[in-house]
Amino acid sequence: MGTKISIEPITRLEGHGKIDLFCDDNGAVERAIFQVPELRGFEKFVEGRPAEDMPQITSRICGVCPTAHHMASVKALDALFGVEPPPAARAVREMFYHLFMFEDHLLHFFFLGGPDFIVGPGAPKEARNILGVINKVGVDTGKKVIEIRKICRELMAEIGGKPIHPVLGLPGGVAKQISEETREKLKAFSKNAVAFAQFTLKAFNDIVLANKDYLDLILSDVYYMKTYYMGMIDKANKVNFYDGDIRVVDPDGKEVQKFKHADYAKVIAEHVEPWTYIKFPYLRDVGWKGFTEGKESGVYRVAPIARLNVADGMSTPLAQKEYERLFSTVGTKPVHNTLAMHWARLVEVLNAAERITELSELKDLTSPEIRNMNFKTPGEGVGIVEAPRGTLIHHYQANEKGLITKANLIVATVGNAAAINMSIERAAKKLSVNKKVDEQILNMIEMAFRAYDPCLSCATHSLPGKMPLELRFKDKYNKILRTVFRNNDGKAVSG
């Protein structure tokens, strides 16, 4: 008789997640199901709200990446009111956005996902956290991580009111001009930011890539999946977080779509399963073929490695070098190795830091011309940005009074929903045959979805760096046969 293994609770975006693994008679995993048990209903309750309130309301979808929602929302408002923000407003928004990308990606690397590598995937759990990272890279560096994040978020507060749920965006502009004094602070910060990003990449290089076991893990079959990829590119086909067309490449790296924001619904469709609240986006032209990979399946992936895969390169010189190094090390493009997500994230950190430098020197950055008030009758608008965790889509319709009548939100983590399910399944399948379920398996399943995170564990993480993971082996009647969980020492024990 087959058994069911439940992993619960895992942490995720807004609340809890749960993983069920269905096993055959030999204990090998046949199917893995990742459930999201919560819905807050933003798309419905924003109906009737004034369109201009949307950037502040929708930022409450996620308190870790509020800036991504805020910015997708305000871009949707630009379209909805038919106003193009003046160059200064665009510069302010881009500056704010790159500060956010910089600190959010770094948060993930040092506090959340990075400990797996810096401290080591097999290290004791109590060491796999920011404190363990500090031990490994040195106390001064640890302090620097906290300090640089602090300064970054202080600058965000200065520009956009506050880093958690900012108030910067208005249709056709921004609320506040950047002062020359702030520009000087940004210039000073950007130098440190570039240096820190380089330092972080070097640490990744020395600690992770130079270690054959870690590199093998990244390149391992356990974390490999051929899918389509989606991401935003600028006019030169380089990675862009704030604006540009959306490109989709197939598992061979060939461009199959390049679309304008307003056309997103022609390209993306969503599949519903009754056992979870998360929807499963897929490429409409290819179709939903279930939780399967390959060219025949419409499943696509977003987030750092997807962005690098779809683009021809990075927009800044230092990041471009790192981009080239990543692809030459892995040896293929697209890169299908899920764990390369961590590396791609750091390439983007450097790109964000370099962009902060460029923007801090832009003459328009401090111009008082921050509003375009030439509003058209409110109608419909789509706004897309690249959130840290992938392509983020806000689509609104409004009545002539500018009250929202319909909203559709395809958030970044949802874009990876099917792929996360499949990555977990693949890791579980590969690891489950004739093996005792131990700490290593818990850890490796955990790593399969942590690569996509932290929006799955958004909110969650992990000063101590532990995921609450419990495997329950159940029979068909839900009777618990065996439970495996971590004790306080981080060791897997049976209970």
In the window 28-47, what residues touch another protein (CB under 8 A)?
A: 30-31, 33, 35, 37-41, 43-47
The percent helix, strand, coil of the chain (3-state, each to 5) is 45, 20, 35
Residues in binding contact with another protein, number by CB under 8 A = 110
Query: Which of 27, 161, 294, 313 forms a contact with another protein (CB under 8 A)?
Result: 161
**Contact positions with another protein (CB under 8 A) in 78-97:** 81
Q: How far is the CB of 234 from another protein (least distance, A)?
A: 25
Burial class (CB in 10 A: 0-12, 13-18, 19+), 44: exposed
53 binds another protein (CB under 8 A): yes
Q: How far is the CB of 464 from another protein (least distance, A)?
A: 5
Backbone angles phi, psi at 85, to 5 degrees: -65, 145
E strand or H helix at 319: helix 317-330
Q: How far is the CB of 328 from another protein (least distance, A)?
A: 35
458 binds another protein (CB under 8 A): yes
Query: Which of 127, 215, 269, 362 forms a contact with another protein (CB under 8 A)?
Result: 269
Q: What is the CA radius of gyration of the chain?
A: 22
E strand or H helix at 288: none
Taking each continuous run of H as one helix and of E as one strand, the counts in the chain are 16, 17
The token pair that represents 385 in the structure block:
């940005």
Q: Interhelix angle for 317-330 vs 180-203, to 10°?
A: 20
Span near another protein by CB under 8 A; candidates 267-275, 308-316, 330-338, 421-429: 267-275
Q: How far is the CB of 382 from another protein (least distance, A)?
A: 11
Within 331-393, residue ranges assigned H as helices are 340-360
The token pair that represents 326 in the structure block:
């990543």
120: left (phi over 0), alpha (psi -120 to 50) or beta: left
Q: How far is the CB of 191 from another protein (least distance, A)?
A: 21
**Contact positions with another protein (CB under 8 A) in 61-80:** 61-64, 66, 77
Q: How far is the CB of 123 from another protein (least distance, A)?
A: 15
Distance between CA 247 and CA 219 in Å, rounded?
Answer: 25
Q: Comparing C-alpha atoms, which of 471, 422, 411 is closest to residue 39?
A: 411
Q: How far is the CB of 44 from another protein (least distance, A)?
A: 4
Residues 218, 337 contacting (CB under 8 angstroms): yes
**Contact positions with another protein (CB under 8 A) in 95-124:** 107, 111
User: Toward another protein, which CB reaches closer, 363 or 476?
Assistant: 476
Query: Which of 7, 14, 190, 419 forms a contact with another protein (CB under 8 A)?
Result: 14
Single-letter residue type at 262: A
Q: How far is the CB of 449 from another protein (least distance, A)?
A: 15
436: left (phi over 0), alpha (psi -120 to 50) or beta: beta
Q: How far is the CB of 367 from another protein (least distance, A)?
A: 14
**Contact positions with another protein (CB under 8 A) in 356-385:** 371, 373, 375
Query: DSSP 3-state assignment of 294?
Result: coil
Query: Which of 99, 137, 469, 484 forms a contact with another protein (CB under 8 A)?
Result: 469
467 binds another protein (CB under 8 A): yes
x-marked contacts with another protein along 291-330 as a string, rule CB under 8 A: ----------------------------------------
How many other β-carbons are positioned within 10 Å of the β-carbon of residue 18?
16
Query: DSSP 3-state assignment of 310?
Result: helix
User: Toward another protein, which CB reaches closer, 91 or 347?
Assistant: 91
Q: How far is the CB of 130 from another protein (least distance, A)?
A: 10
User: Toward another protein, which CB reaches closer, 143 or 202?
Assistant: 143
271 binds another protein (CB under 8 A): yes
User: Toward another protein, which CB reaches closer, 122 or 253?
Assistant: 122
- What torsion, rounded to 10 degrees, do the Cα atoms 400, 403, 409, 411 define? 120
E strand or H helix at 194: helix 180-203
Query: What secondary structure does DSSP assign to 103-148, as a single string?
Result: HHHHHIIIIIITHHHHT-TTS-GGGSSHHHHHHHH-HHHHHHHHHH
Span near another protein by CB under 8 A; candidates 60-68, 113-121, 204-212, 253-261: 60-68
Query: Which of 79, 155, 268, 353 forms a contact with another protein (CB under 8 A)?
Result: 268
Q: How far is the CB of 297 from another protein (least distance, A)?
A: 15
x-marked contacts with another protein along 387-406 as a string, rule CB under 8 A: --------x-----xxx--x
